[in-house]
Amino acid sequence: MSLALDLVVASRTLAEHGVIDAYGHASARSDTDPQRYYMARNLAPELVTEADIVELDLDSKPVAATGHALYNERFIHGEIYKARPDVQAIVHNHSHAVVPFSCTGCELKPIFHMAAFVGLGIPTWDIRDAQRGTDMLVRTAALGEHLARKLGKHPAVLMRGHGSTVVAENLQRAVGRTIYLDVNARMQLDAAQLAGGQRNIVFMDDAEVAANVSWQNYERSWELWKRKALAKLAAERG
């Protein structure tokens, strides 16, 4: 399966899980040129087909002329690919469950095994540290570079009052992490309500996190998501 088709599957899967709606986007580094990456043109992710996938350089400029508009926030992707040679896939999203953790000082912690990667640490980026008075969107390379610096070596970064950006060594892991980051946020809020605060929640410890993240690749999930997305795509094409 081509990387373009994988991106179609990723976009539709993230939309189906309500993690991205008409906004948010997934990308994958080119498997033939690490100085380039693929993402959809400016389109609701649920509508993306292979024909909508555009190739960009790491300055987030399209490699070939395209008559289509591109995502305003594509600089998130290009600048992270520059800063993190290990990253092969990125998802930027506005998960409603995650945003409250971006603006309250309440730290996201790994509450269950499918989101063990949360235990690797998720910093929060405040766009005001880079520029004041923005519309909150990462519309420039300078803002993208600033965000990439806050991400550092971590698997994700929260963006205050906006959402998050999740990275991984492959696309299925980036998609899985994004979906389970959203689930983790909801579970953590539920647990805090049950327990009367975060103090009484037992989170995964560092050894458990390390034992899980070494292998967790969301493979069974990816096979399922792929089959469902491709079936839907085939039905649309009649």
Catalytic residue numbers, as ranges: 73
Residues touching Zn ion, count (CB under 5 A): 1
Report in angstroms how near the CB of residue 138 gets to Zn ion at its nearest: 7
Q: Quick one: 94 or 154, whose CB is closer to Zn ion?
A: 94
CB of 4: closest distance to Zn ion in angstroms?
A: 22
Q: Please choose, from the candidates 213, 216, 187, the residue with its C-alpha nearest in 3D space to the C-alpha of residue 121.
A: 213
Q: Which is nearer to Zn ion, 37 or 125 (CB)?
A: 125
Binding mask 57-76 for Zn ion (x = CB under 5 A): ----------------x---
Residue number, nearest CB to Zn ion: 73
Decide: helix, strand or coil at residue 200: helix
Rank residues 21 and 107 by Cβ distance to Zn ion and give the closer one. Answer: 21
Label residue 199 exposed, middle or buried (CB < 10 Å: 0-12, 13-18, 19+): exposed
Closest approach of Cβ 99 to Zn ion, in Å? Answer: 11
Q: CB within 8 A of 9, min separation 6: which ones?
A: 225, 226, 229, 230
Whether the Cβ atoms of residue 163 and residue 24 lie closer than 8 Å to each other: yes
Nearer to Zn ion, 93 or 184 (CB): 93
Residue 113 CA to residue 184 CA, distance in Å, equals: 9
Residues found near Zn ion in the complex (CB under 5 A):
73
